Structure 1
Amino acid sequence: MIRVPKIFALVPKSLRKIVDLNVRCLATQGSKESQSFTMNMFRGQLQTNQVFPYPKPLNEEQEEILNMLVDPMETFFKEVNNPFKNDENASIDKDTLKSLWDLGAFGIQVPQDLGGLGLNNTQYARLVEIVGYNDLGVGITLGAHQSIGFKGILLFGTPEQKKKYLPRVTSGSVAAFCLTEPSCGSDAGAVRSKAIKSTDGSHYILNGSKIWISNGGLAEIMTVFAQVPIKDPITGETKDKVTAFIVERAFGGVTNGPPENKMGIKCSNTTEVYYEDVKIPAENLLGGEGQGFKVAMQILNNGRFGMGAALSGTMQSCIKKATEHAVQRVQFGRTINNYGTIQEKLARMSMLQYITQSVAYMVSGNMDTGSQDYHLEAAISKVFASESAWWVCDEAIQILGGMGFMKATGLERVLRDLRIFRIFEGTNDILRLFIALTGIQYAGSHLKELQKAFKNPTANLGLIAEEVSRRATRVIGLNSPSIAHLVHPSLADSADLCVKSVESFGSVIESILVKYGKGIVDEQFILNRLAQAAIDTYTMAAVLSRASASLTNNVSSAEHELLMAQVWCTEASSRVAENLKAVGTTKNLDVYTKLSKISRNICDVGGVVQKNPLGF
């Protein structure tokens, strides 16, 4: 008998809510079967609807509109914006900000009838890619405003709220997303700010504070999250539940601290924000009482693809600087681009940029065609992009050598700017757990369904027969699923590697569920490796899709893309096999146990345990 764990029982409360929200959203679509490639991977099944063919959601009119905006955006960064000055002054001057407002850059996705440009997600991705290429500090100012700042109004706002606030956030009023507090970073459910509803129900009184708020010192309009005491109509019990509000600085009682002195993205304004007896009209409730957690997670899920797009631009800039140096710098009688070490660096840098860009546009394309099952892919996009961009920039500095370490080159600023991306809008560590636990929960629900089916086999012959057939083919290796018909013939072998990774992944997940049951939530060494295997497998599918489209359409770079896709699938599939093997072998599990003990020893003494070799 397959033992199906009630995984949520031991998941930390806030992370459990995130996982639960993602899984429950499937039920609202009239079917519990997700269209997500990554979700189905946890069942060992291929769901290719959102991967093949590579999305191209822009029609001629949308492409024309985008092209009209690209040139002014690029001109702004060439002629108006000065990233060195922004970094040195730790601010963006008023004239530069005015130019951005004039471009419409603060309202890219707001409908045109409400003052914005009315662009879709793919058009947005292209514009933020240009921003990421040039200045990540400016990118955070723009992103904190629209990707998260007023995104809640776009997603959850009533018609009245949209009509009132969206014209303002496109015409001069900066927005901010105010969630993080000293007691809650990734643990969004630990918010302590509180909003008490008035006796007559006409308003709420908000008290509390937020930290590290991007645009915190500039924002006139804020999406604020606070606990609201809510009485259960059935039990009569009153409990605090996170609730979202639209708060204006003009309400009074809203103040902020001085700008934080940060490692990077210095020109973006980051401050603490304080709320003292702020009177919020009841009509400024966003998404309903007690729905704040859902609002926050949907905002963050919805905006993560933009980070991938921006960082693909950053990587492209780093690669350009590294390449220009490599083809000119002469060492030992030859330019350094002739040496294998430099060639490997440039090739891997380009591969990571290609994958990051492929995933970002795949997610945005799926969103634009109406997908609701993109949350794991968006998380993968953010994790992969932020880690790849850091590596690419670091290698670019290495190729430039001493020149790369100098401020004038600009790469040291980019490296400082990049460090925050692995932390904010969901730390990569939490997102890896989110990917693994959400997928495992989805796989567990399927096993539970099978368990019920076997209790009444006569009524469930179809489901049982399908599962028996799938398992049999997996065991004997015949009639395995294939995506060869979905990829270009020259990528058939690479496609087989991706399929084998999916099949192996599903088998290992089932074994993990049977072995650990509900205890899997405490096995973060294992969960992290499952997440990495999921990331590698999904990125394989993404590059297979994009490279196939390029080859089929005879794109000028198609043969180059073919090479990158082949190399990536070869290496990624090997990592998948290694990580899946690692979660089940006694040798590796013993290593995890020892690593845990080493960590405990360090914590017990407050630092390094071993003495200096000289005895100190």
Structure 2
Amino acid sequence: MNRVINTCLKKQNNVQTILFPRSLSTSNANFKTVQNSKHGSEKSSTGNAENYSFVMNLFRGQLEPRQVFPYPNVLNEEQKETLQMMVDPTNKFFQEVNDPAKNDALEKVDEKTLAGLWELGAFSLQVPQDFGGSGLSNTQYARLVQIVGANDLGVGITLGAHQSIGFKGILLVGTPEQKAKYLPRVSNGEMAAFCLTEPSSGSDAASIKTRAELSPDGKHYIMNGSKIWISNGGLAEIMTVYAQTPVVDQKTGKTVDKVTAFIVERSFGGVTSGPPEKKMGIKCSNTAEVYYDNVKIPVENVLGGVGNGFKVAMNVLNNGRFGMAAALSGTMQTCIKKAVEFATQRKQFGERIDSFGSIQEKIARMSMLQYVTESMAYMISGNMDSGSVNYHLEAAISKCFASEAAWYVCDEAIQIMGGMGFMKHSGLERILRDLRIFRIFEGTNDILRLFVALTGMQYAGSHLKELQMAFKNPTAHLGLIFEEASKRMVRKVGLSSPPAMEHLVHRDLASSANLLAKCFDSFGQAVEMVLIKYGKNIVNEQFILNRLANATFDIYTSAVVLSRASTSLKEELSSANHEKLMAEAWTLEATERVESYLKVVASGKHLDNFSKMSTISRNVCQAEGVVQNNPLKI
């Protein structure tokens, strides 16, 4: 696991090697700049790149509100009209044509449904109109994906594997020639797939074995290898395939292997696929192994440059994660609707069960989780549409949160409905099976939590490096030294004050904003303490990293819902007071959880308990199962 995380951090775009505290790399150096815009302005007056990520700055104990407050409103009137024209037919299609139970039973998308989706343009939502697509923004795309997620996650995976990751690399980094050649094809009937995972490389994408060697005449790469668990793998005509290629290291002159992305057509020859996998859920989504046997790939089909495949893959995955939050917010809507319909009709002990406090708490929590997830989906898509390039941690959080929240909401819906929810005809059984994969694919939640924590800590560590350098030449950096010294002294005597947030929210949410504001300084102190205590070995302290990540999730989600609810109150929406209640309830409990996580990180008692759990795990693994004997000793 540690090797996996180190690999990810060394090769992830915008993330450099973590070396704390003596050789701290400055992660800010590689952030790209974009044009100024309301939410995505990431270029300072001096022309240097700035990082406006809310989460990244949180790790320094700083409030950076520009990508969270106010809540994004990025669609112009024309875009709203276009979206409205697509929402109604999409809803109608899923209500009248698509049959999720039939798809699940067939273990493939019904042919009539598949043809209808192509006709709707559902497979090319973000392809520019010049190439045969709809040219939708991320926010428009999120709205349609939410409808798909509310109806059939298996169909959602078929669509997403095609456009969210399948040909997304061509859309993001393809050459003009590659776009002109392939985007019209993936918009008009030719399925696409994203081919990265191999038997020996799940989360450790850098360890793939598939190879591509340049032919003697320099005109082709010859690819050999295989991929597993590829969504659309048995259907795709056009694939983004990742393979090891020999590359000359410019610094050492030695030839080393680096991952390169290729656009591969099944028609090139040598591309075959296995039978569809038998799965727990998303059964109608085609999942298959794909094999490459001496496949000749023209050199012009290298995507994103030789040796840059890992960056291409991470760019694709980071760019598409918000779509998962959008889809699963739709799924949660469906689960809540089913549970509420049952609860308001079912009577027990002479009363409707929706009058019972235990049921009310379930429905309230389900509703809050849906609200948080939906709010993040449109927050992040809005940031992306405004030009932000620093949304990767927020997108990772949205994926983790959405996949876990949706599982909880579906499970609670089944619990509310009791035996009726457990029966197949309720539809919740299928949804629960479909949901389980979302915590695993496109980056497991376990790896993404570590990614969030370690990337944020690296950013915090670069600040400590600046301070270290300042002390080497104090006369030239007196301002920084005195600022830091005064900050630490104020903290020591207990006079520090949290960052002001009242001006960012509606006045009715000021008290909730004050609760959240207190988390910033305490979180920053906890991160600094951990960095100083563990140094570069922090990568091994995953019990601590997971709790810092969880605290990050709670702080970010609270800020997002306070922002959305504030906008609703300001605009006097009919749901504003309801949203206010959800934002207040969520923030109160979230900030209490943050306080608990930070206490655990600093507590010797809990650190000792982590050590005990580590030992328990080693004992079980050594015994290859449960260690203790049956109490009957028989």
- The normalised TM-score by structure 1 is 0.97
Provide the C-alpha distance between the structure 2 equivalents of 1:11 and 1:131, rounded to a whole number of angstroms. 33
Provide the C-alpha distance between the structure 2 equivalents of 1:272 and 1:319, rounded to a whole number of angstroms. 36
- Equivalent residue for 1:253? 270
Per-residue CA deviations over 1:193-238 (Å, capped at 9, x if unaligned) read: 0000112221100000000000000000000000001122443211
- Equivalent residue for 1:488? 506
1:203 aligns with 2:220: yes
- Equivalent residue for 1:13? 7
Structure 1 residues 472 and 553: CA distance shift in structure 2, 3 A:
farther
- Equivalent residue for 2:252? 235
1:561 to 579, 594, 597: 579
Per-residue CA deviations over 1:403-443 (Å, capped at 9, x if unaligned) read: 00001000000000000000000000000000000000000
Q: 2:477 is paired with a residue of what secondary structure?
A: helix
What are the within-5 Å matches in structure 2 for residues 9-408 of structure 1? 12-18=6-12, 21=15, 23=27, 26-29=30-33, 31=48, 33-408=50-425
Q: Give the AA of the match of 1:18.
A: Q
Number of aligned positions between the proteins: 609
For residue 15 of structure 1, report the CA deviation from its aligned partner.
4.2
For residue 17 of structure 1, report the CA deviation from its aligned partner.
2.0
8 A Cα contact 1:26 1:34, kept in partner:
no
Q: Give unpaired runs (5+ residues) of structure 1.
A: 1-7
Structure 1 residues 11 and 500: CA distance shift in structure 2, 3 A:
same
1:602 to 616, 620, 631: 620
Structure 1 residues 589 and 484: CA distance shift in structure 2, 3 A:
same
Provide the C-alpha distance between the structure 2 equivalents of 1:313 and 1:45, rounded to a whole number of angstroms. 33
- Equivalent residue for 2:524? 506
Q: Which stretch shifts more, 567-576 or 453-462?
A: 453-462
- Equivalent residue for 1:4? none
Per-residue CA deviations over 1:124-156 (Å, capped at 9, x if unaligned) read: 000000000000000000000000000000111
Provide the C-alpha distance between the structure 2 equivalents of 1:354 and 1:446, rounded to a whole number of angstroms. 35
Q: Give unpaired runs (5+ residues) of structure 2.
A: 17-26, 34-46
Per-residue CA deviations over 1:32-79 (Å, capped at 9, x if unaligned) read: 541101000100001001000000100101000000000010011011
Q: Give the AA of the match of 1:498.
A: L
- Equivalent residue for 2:39? none
Structure 1 residues 488 and 234: CA distance shift in structure 2, 3 A:
closer
Q: Give the AA of the match of 2:608.
A: D
2:562 to 540, 544, 553: 544
Q: Which stretch shifts more, 445-454 or 321-330?
A: 445-454
Q: 2:629 is paired with a residue of what secondary structure?
A: coil
Provide the C-alpha distance between the structure 2 equivalents of 1:192 and 1:15, rounded to a whole number of angstroms. 20
Structure 1 residues 60 and 87: CA distance shift in structure 2, 3 A:
same
Q: 2:418 is paired with a residue of what secondary structure?
A: helix
Structure 1 residues 200 and 446: CA distance shift in structure 2, 3 A:
same
Q: Give the AA of the match of 2:265.
A: E
- Equivalent residue for 1:445? 462
8 A Cα contact 1:54 1:546, kept in partner:
yes
1:579 to 594, 597, 604: 597
For residue 497 of structure 1, report the CA deviation from its aligned partner.
1.4
- Equivalent residue for 1:3? none
For residue 478 of structure 1, report the CA deviation from its aligned partner.
4.7
Structure 1 residues 449 and 311: CA distance shift in structure 2, 3 A:
same
2:539 to 521, 524, 530: 521
Q: Give the AA of the match of 1:572.
A: A
For residue 481 of structure 1, report the CA deviation from its aligned partner.
1.6
Q: Give the AA of the match of 1:128.
A: V
Q: 2:342 is paired with a residue of what secondary structure?
A: helix
Q: 1:12 is paired with a residue of what secondary structure?
A: helix
Provide the C-alpha distance between the structure 2 equivalents of 1:527 and 1:501, rounded to a whole number of angstroms. 17
8 A Cα contact 1:10 1:519, kept in partner:
no
Structure 1 residues 233 and 505: CA distance shift in structure 2, 3 A:
closer
8 A Cα contact 1:21 1:294, kept in partner:
no
8 A Cα contact 1:473 1:480, kept in partner:
no
Cα RMSD, aligned residues only: 1.5
Provide the C-alpha distance between the structure 2 equivalents of 1:106 and 1:25, rounded to a whole number of angstroms. 37
8 A Cα contact 1:9 1:518, kept in partner:
no
For residue 12 of structure 1, report the CA deviation from its aligned partner.
2.6
Provide the C-alpha distance between the structure 1 equivalents of 2:513 and 2:30, rounded to a whole number of angstroms. 28
Per-residue CA deviations over 1:281-305 (Å, capped at 9, x if unaligned) read: 0000000010000000000000000
Q: Give the AA of the match of 1:310.
A: A
Provide the C-alpha distance between the structure 1 equivalents of 2:580 and 2:251, rounded to a whole number of angstroms. 60
Provide the C-alpha distance between the structure 1 equivalents of 2:334 and 2:498, rounded to a whole number of angstroms. 42
For residue 459 of structure 1, report the CA deviation from its aligned partner.
1.7
8 A Cα contact 1:220 1:249, kept in partner:
yes
Q: 2:602 is paired with a residue of what secondary structure?
A: coil
Q: 2:119 is paired with a residue of what secondary structure?
A: helix
